[in-house]
Amino acid sequence: MAYVTIGSMTDKNIVLTGFMGSGKTAVSRNLAGRTGLKRVSTDDLIVEAEGRSIVAIFRDSGEGYFRKIEKQVVAEVCCLAGVIVDCGGGVILDEDNRRALKSSGTVFFLDASEQEIYQRIKAQTHRPLLNTPDPLAGIHDLLKQRRPLYACADITLLTDGKSVAAVTEEILKVVHMN
Ligand code: S3P
């Protein structure tokens, strides 16, 4: 699959992965504004399909159920072309998800340090996996487990200390849309 360089159109998806708080949502929104490409969010699609929040899904049906719906959503999103995909932080846990996302486009891993992630998420309550007495330890443990999986991305971008606009620019350069 190749980028089609007609105007700003591309048939490859721009896929953003990374840990919770790595800036995927803000960057994907900015990217959509800059490129005119449609943005889809796996979390938003899950919430829409289920008619309840992610916190409620985890609380009432468990993480396994959430991952099952997430996998269906990823499969559907990977049938789209030329869109920006904002992936939930755990999407890469599933091997089929990783493979499907990679074949649908360019996969970016927005990396961030544990401290930076903690600073970004500490005041938020919508992420069930980090609603724990010691979120910093939770970030440490989950990142240790997930780093090798995030590393399967095509491109890794360190986001520490960078603005949303700066990260967006880096992505646009990679996909030749700057
Ligand atoms: C999760 C990340 C969340 C959301 C859910 C689980 C994870 O998405 O999918 O709370 O396992 O890392 P964000 O990365 O957009 O916060």
Per-residue pLDDT of the chain (178 residues; tens, 9 = 90+): 343 343 344 689 999 999 999 999 999 999 999 999 999 999 999 999 999 999 999 999 999 999 999 999 999 999 999 999 999 999 999 999 999 999 999 999 999 999 999 999 988 888 999 989 999 999 999 999 999 999 999 999 999 999 999 999 999 999 998 8
Q: Quick check: CB of 112 below 6 Å from ligand 1? A: no
Instruction: Specify the ligand 1 atom closest to the Cα of 142.
Output: 12
Q: Which residues contact 103 (CB under 8 A, 6 or more apart)?
A: 1, 78
- Nearest CA, atom 9, ligand 1: 88
Residue 16 to residue 23: CA distance in whole angstroms: 9
Question: Which residue's structure tokens are 């504004």?
Answer: 33
Q: Quick check: CB of 43 below 6 Å from ligand 1? A: yes
Q: Please indicate, yes or no, whether the overall pTM of this predicted structure exceeds 0.75.
A: yes
Q: Are 40 and 49 in contact (CB under 8 A)?
A: no
